[in-house]
Chain A
């Protein structure tokens, strides 16, 4: 930690080796694919190393780094939104889905990351912030510069979208395993 503040490369490498895998998992929730997530990771680590002395030791180092990654990912999302614009208009059927529940064993992490990557961009960010990071809608609205109600409605649409996607994914998996048997 002290070595990192002084910019010692061996210390920085140690920090990177220890946390990069976990932090890439964080970035990967906000991007369209793993390549983009690595770009965000890079940018985030540069910020971490350059601002190491700003870290006051309040709370854990990991939480601080996690926050930097999320902020970087959101900046990245804002920057890319221009090119992605059309996706935000995507229509979602308004049909009410019955509330499904899931087992931890239903899907692998890779499958869930895959589903997140496929999500429309606006949904992805709101969903990850709320469901995984545990931010409040009020905070999400502040971070993204949107209305609190927009955040809520985006979230419920994202949830519906996911619900639909997970149901089909599970069906596909079952069919595949039956096909094998």
Chain B
């Protein structure tokens, strides 16, 4: 059955207008978040019954709590004031005899003003004001709290908003521990706001907080806008913003390829660099006998740079912005296993005086006999040597018998010969090697 649509057409026809019903809770979640954000924005034209209700409840609640608190401090303050006033007045009487007239009259005037504001006067109140030059602020707080105590039922209007010189608009200010860095970036904020009692932090899409000094971890790279809204006792809010940039962190990753035989019995593994978002790399061996390092993208790991103990390979990947990621992997055993090998020389000088039979002992290196050096004697071994015209001049099944340069008791001619060696190691692996050898008669001897 052959259709008419290619894959793009198939998907766009079937899915462009596909509809799925959302679960029933989705709407309520959405509207809750919208209301909350609108509430935070405080836009007068978006005020509705919910926000008004919320503000009213918070307002009445905070006034109640504040006035209650002030009343309590007021009582203890009052006692202090009385004691202080008594001490001071007696001290004044003793020391100066008579307070100066101008001082007295100005204090009295002030008190009279204060008195008009107050609805009730206690004898003690009268006493402390007439008899001392108390700091104006204390008196002020007292009268204010008295008023609010009495007018509690008349609600908010009795609190003279703005008339209090000590209530400043909030001044939001904060200091982040860092302004940029690599993901994941932990940032702690020191809140230096003034004239504020409550805080609201907006961390872009990373959430919100009402803590004073929040700590935030930014996992995703990007430029974040950090907003601090400070609110004072009167509910007045001001905001400030700063930016924090999170750089993408690179991801270091690699694989070590299967070890293969290289030259001269050295095993080597290809390194597959799977890192992402990185520009520079640093490879190093750890925990082994050697200290190999490389800054290549995909260097070759050789057994002679690792040592027989193996150990670990570390890759540090670094991004453009200097962010790094490190990964360590164990070096596979197959790289450090010593594999047996054979190696033949490229030239030799036979004995001038006649054939010597080609015998040599293990671990011996002879210049007058063509023989291999090897890590271990192979299980099977067969060496053949040909002239360049293809005539067989030597053959041996015994690795300890090499060619002495003679063929049928005659000196072979100087020149290049071709050799082939085949066999099998004790582990079962076979080998098949070939090369050429230059025969040189040593005429200087």
Binding site for B on A (CB under 8 A): 6-7, 9, 12-13, 16, 20-22, 24-25, 28-29, 34, 37-38, 41-42, 45-46, 49-50, 75, 78-79, 82, 85, 88-89, 99-104, 106-109, 112-113, 116, 127, 130-132, 134, 159, 162-163, 166
Quick check: is B363 within 8 A (CB to CB) of the other chain? Answer: no
A112 close to B11 (CB less than 8 A): yes
| Chain A, Cβ-Cβ closest to B1 | A103
B10 close to A113 (CB less than 8 A): no
Known A24-B20, A34-B20, A166-B7: A104·B30 in contact at CB below 8 Å: no
Quick check: is B263 within 8 A (CB to CB) of the other chain? Answer: no
Residue of A28, A38, A42, A132 touching B33 (CB-CB under 8 A):
A42
Other A-B contacts than A37-B20, A102-B7, A132-B11, 9 sampled, CB-CB below 8 A, are A6-B45, A7-B48, A13-B31, A46-B30, A78-B222, A79-B220, A82-B220, A103-B3, A132-B16
Quick check: is B102 within 8 A (CB to CB) of the other chain? Answer: no
Residue of A7, A16, A109, A132 touching B38 (CB-CB under 8 A):
A7
Please name all residues of chain A whose beta carbon is closer than 8 Å to the beta carbon of B5 when the two chains form the complex.
101-104
Query: Max chain B CB contacts within 10 Å: which of A49, A102, A112?
Result: A102
Please name all residues of chain B whose beta carbon is closer than 8 Å to the beta carbon of A22 when the two chains form the complex.
17-19
Known A102-B7, A166-B7: A78·B30 in contact at CB below 8 Å: no
Within 415-443 of B, Cβ neighbours of A (below 8 Å) are at none
| Chain A, Cβ-Cβ closest to B184 | A82
Please name all residues of chain A whose beta carbon is closer than 8 Å to the beta carbon of B16 when the two chains form the complex.
132
A99 close to B23 (CB less than 8 A): no
Interface contacts (Cβ under 8 Å), in number, total 124
B251 close to A85 (CB less than 8 A): yes
Please name all residues of chain A whose beta carbon is closer than 8 Å to the beta carbon of B23 when the two chains form the complex.
38
Please name all residues of chain A whose beta carbon is closer than 8 Å to the beta carbon of B7 when the two chains form the complex.
100, 102, 131, 159, 162-163, 166
A9 close to B31 (CB less than 8 A): yes
- Report how far A7 CA is from B136 CA in the complex, Å: 48
Closest 9 CB pairs of A and B: A103-B3, A21-B19, A25-B18, A102-B3, A131-B8, A101-B3, A24-B20, A109-B18, A45-B30
Known A102-B7, A132-B15: A28·B20 in contact at CB below 8 Å: yes
Please name all residues of chain A whose beta carbon is closer than 8 Å to the beta carbon of B57 when the two chains form the complex.
none
Please name all residues of chain B whose beta carbon is closer than 8 Å to the beta carbon of A113 when the two chains form the complex.
15, 18, 20
| Chain A, Cβ-Cβ closest to B29 | A42
Q: How far is the CB of A159 from the nearest CB of chain B, in Å?
A: 6
| Chain A, Cβ-Cβ closest to B38 | A7
Is chain A's interface secondary structure helix, strand, loop, or mixed overall? helix
B20 close to A101 (CB less than 8 A): no
- Report how far A101 CA is from B1 CA in the complex, Å: 9
Please name all residues of chain B whose beta carbon is closer than 8 Å to the beta carbon of A25 when the two chains form the complex.
15, 17-20
Query: Max chain A CB contacts within 10 Å: which of B8, B22, B183?
Result: B22
Q: How far is the CB of B94 from the nearest CB of chain A, in Å?
A: 71
- Report how far A53 CA is from B11 CA in the complex, Å: 33
Please name all residues of chain B whose beta carbon is closer than 8 Å to the beta carbon of A7 when the two chains form the complex.
34, 38, 46, 48
A38 close to B26 (CB less than 8 A): yes
Q: How far is the CB of B348 from the nearest CB of chain A, in Å?
A: 50
Residue of A6, A24, A85 touching B21 (CB-CB under 8 A):
A24
Known A13-B27, A101-B4, A113-B15: A79·B20 in contact at CB below 8 Å: no
A89 close to B274 (CB less than 8 A): yes
A46 close to B37 (CB less than 8 A): yes
Known A34-B20, A101-B2: A131·B11 in contact at CB below 8 Å: yes
Please name all residues of chain A whose beta carbon is closer than 8 Å to the beta carbon of B222 when the two chains form the complex.
78
B317-334 vs A, Cβ < 8 Å mask (1 yes, 0 no): 000000000000000000
Quick check: is B13 within 8 A (CB to CB) of the other chain? Answer: yes
Q: How far is the CB of B272 from the nearest CB of chain A, in Å?
A: 11
- Report how far A110 CA is from B45 CA in the complex, Å: 44
Quick check: is B12 within 8 A (CB to CB) of the other chain? Answer: yes
Q: List 6 A-B contacts (CB under 8 A).
A: A7-B34, A50-B37, A102-B5, A104-B5, A108-B14, A113-B18
A24 close to B19 (CB less than 8 A): yes
Please name all residues of chain A whose beta carbon is closer than 8 Å to the beta carbon of B161 when the two chains form the complex.
none
A49 close to B20 (CB less than 8 A): no
- Report how far A103 CA is from B26 CA in the complex, Å: 35
| Chain B, Cβ-Cβ closest to A106 | B3
Quick check: is B219 within 8 A (CB to CB) of the other chain? Answer: yes
| Chain B, Cβ-Cβ closest to A82 | B219
A21 close to B21 (CB less than 8 A): yes
B31 close to A12 (CB less than 8 A): yes
A104 close to B13 (CB less than 8 A): yes
- Report how far A29 CA is from B46 CA in the complex, Å: 34
Please name all residues of chain B whose beta carbon is closer than 8 Å to the beta carbon of A109 when the two chains form the complex.
14-15, 18
B27-58 vs A, Cβ < 8 Å mask (1 yes, 0 no): 10111011001100000011010000000000
Known A7-B46, A9-B31, A24-B21: A131·B12 in contact at CB below 8 Å: yes
